[in-house]
Amino acid sequence: MSAPVKMISNYFEIDKQGNLKKAQQNFVKKQKAEKNFYSQYLNINVGYTLVTPILFGVIIGLALDNKLNKKPFFTVIFIFIGMISSIYNLFRIIKDAKN
């Protein structure tokens, strides 16, 4: 992003004797941030990054449960791992959006 544009505007002020005189004040005008692909579709990415690890956890857990005959054990463990991964991804997205 480029540096802010410096604007000089002329204003008038009244001094202690009551005379009108010209005063200059410097203002810094911030330029609008350009929107890129990532910032426009950030909300869509949040949904996918929250659901995908949990879904993979369920699939892996069910596959291991069927193969090892331990019905709810691996599914529950991998759902929790997917939830932790989803929360980590959400914090990473928020951190990147702030920068």
Tens digit of pLDDT for each residue in 51-97?
999 999 999 999 999 999 988 999 999 999 999 999 999 899 888 87
Cα-based distances in Å from 57 to 8, 40, 67, 89: 59, 29, 15, 15
In the chain, DSSP assigns E strands to 5-14, 20-29
d(CA 82, CA 49) in angstroms, rounded, equals 10
Residue 26, pLDDT score? 59
